[in-house]
């Protein structure tokens, strides 16, 4: 989507961190921006920040885990700006822990927000983008955690891998409707994600006391790249029509190592006495798409 000026962007989790960076970067391109977030105080501060920079911005309280909230936020955006062209499904929360120690409420919460939140955004906005006939773009925030799975991050990685998988499929399905799809996979970025677990809603049951934050984790996020740089990288990628958006080229080595391990497993299958004597097979239709 090369022309952005005069169009409308909708960003979930837009009150902080990467979402605010996306809102500021797209606003800087002359787009009007609606930011949606669960945190009312942060939303007000983010709106003031954007408006100070001359960006036409508004905000809406929205819990992406609830489809009805996303639908209401979409209607608020149409009422305010008339149309939506670009949707950033970005809201996300951090959940992890040692094997067997992740409470079931935590699993439900991370799936509701990081996975179903993206589904709610895409399913709500695609018909609205289609209706105006000007085309559009969806950016789903995954993570490098969608490309690799470090131990103790399995719940978070499960959702972020799902966001990569869904975005890959949707990019093909939605191209036919003049809607592009990107999946954003950042490494460490300056944000408030470290505080995210402390804001876990009570409906998911009592949260275990997290204990003091490890200094290593705190400084890791603070030493991440600026969220605005991520937003500006996403602007470049949307203009160039990129599916995968990376922001940390230094992660190439561990991702390459993972892909090498996966490809080596195919070599094992090809050499396997149990498999190699079977009759040759054609690929099924769904594997031939590429």
Least distance CB 132 / ligand NAD (angstroms)? 25
* Count of residues that interact with ligand NAD, criterion CB under 6 A: 31
**Segment interacting with ligand NAD, rule: CB under 6 A, options 61-69, 72-80, 128-136, 209-217:** 61-69
Q: Does 19 bind ligand NAD (CB under 6 A)?
A: yes
Least distance CB 191 / ligand NAD (angstroms)? 3
Q: Does residue 244 carry a catalytic annotation?
A: no
Least distance CB 105 / ligand NAD (angstroms)? 14
Q: What are phi and psi of 208, to 5 degrees?
A: -65, 150
Q: Does 158 bind ligand NAD (CB under 6 A)?
A: no
Of positions 27, 121, 196, 231, contacts ligand NAD by CB under 6 A: 196
Q: Does 37 bind ligand NAD (CB under 6 A)?
A: yes
DSSP letter, residue 193: G
Q: Does 182 bind ligand NAD (CB under 6 A)?
A: no
Of positions 17, 27, 121, 231, contacts ligand NAD by CB under 6 A: 17
3-state DSSP helix/strand/coil % of the chain, to nearest 5? 55, 15, 35
Token pair recorded at residue 186: 């950042």
Closest among 107, 50, 102, 60 to 81, alpha carbons compared = 60
Q: Is 209 exposed, middle or buried (0-12, 13-18, 19+ CB in 10 A)?
A: exposed
Least distance CB 38 / ligand NAD (angstroms)? 4
Nearest 10 degrees: Cα torsion 28, 29, 32, 36: -60
CA angle 85–34–141, rounded 5-degree value:
70
- How far apart CA 90 and CA 93 sit, in angstroms, is 10
Q: Does 171 bind ligand NAD (CB under 6 A)?
A: no
Of positions 33, 60, 87, 93, contacts ligand NAD by CB under 6 A: 93
Binding mask 231-260 for ligand NAD (x = CB under 6 A): ------------------------------
**How many residues are listed for the chain in this entry?**
290
Closest among 68, 197, 158 to 120, alpha carbons compared = 68
Assess contact for 38 and 66: CB atoms under 8 A: no
**What residues are annotated to the active site?**
156
Binding site for ligand NAD (CB under 6 A): 12-13, 15-19, 37-39, 42, 62-65, 90-93, 113, 141, 143, 186, 188-189, 191-193, 196, 221, 224
């Amino acid at each position: 989507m090369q022309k952005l000026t005069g169009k409308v962007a909708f960003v979930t989790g837009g009150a902080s961190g990467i979402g605010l960076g996306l809102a500021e970067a797209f606003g800087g391109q002359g787009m009007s921006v609606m930011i949606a977030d669960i945190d009312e105080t942060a939303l007000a501060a983010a709106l003031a920040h954007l408006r100070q920079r001359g960006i036409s911005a508004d905000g809406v309280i929205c819990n992406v885990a609830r489809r009805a909230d996303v639908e209401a936020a979409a209607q608020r955006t149409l009422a305010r700006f008339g149309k939506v062209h670009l949707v950033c499904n970005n809201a996300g929360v951090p959940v992890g822990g040692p094997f067997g120690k992740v409470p079931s409420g935590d699993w439900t919460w991370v799936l509701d927000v990081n996975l179903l939140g993206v589904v709610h955004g895409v399913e709500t906005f695609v018909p609205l983008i289609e209706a105006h006939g000007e085309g559009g773009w969806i950016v789903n925030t995954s993570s490098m955690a969608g490309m690799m799975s470090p131990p103790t991050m399995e719940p978070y990685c499960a959702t972020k891998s799902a966001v990569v998988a869904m975005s890959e499929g949707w990019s093909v399905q939605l191209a036919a409707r003049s809607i592009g799809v990107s999946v954003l996979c950042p490494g460490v970025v300056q944000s408030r994600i470290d505080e995210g677990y402390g804001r876990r809603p009570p409906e998911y049951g009592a949260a275990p006391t997290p204990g003091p934050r490890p200094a290593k984790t705190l400084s890791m996020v603070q030493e991440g790249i600026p969220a605005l740089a991520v937003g500006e990288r996403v602007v470049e990628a949307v203009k160039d029509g990129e599916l995968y958006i990376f922001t940390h080229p230094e992660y190439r080595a561990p991702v390459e190592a993972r892909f090498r391990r996966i490809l080596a497993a195919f070599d094992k299958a090809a050499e396997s006495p149990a498999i190699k004597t079977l009759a040759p097979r054609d690929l099924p239709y769904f594997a031939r798409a590429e």
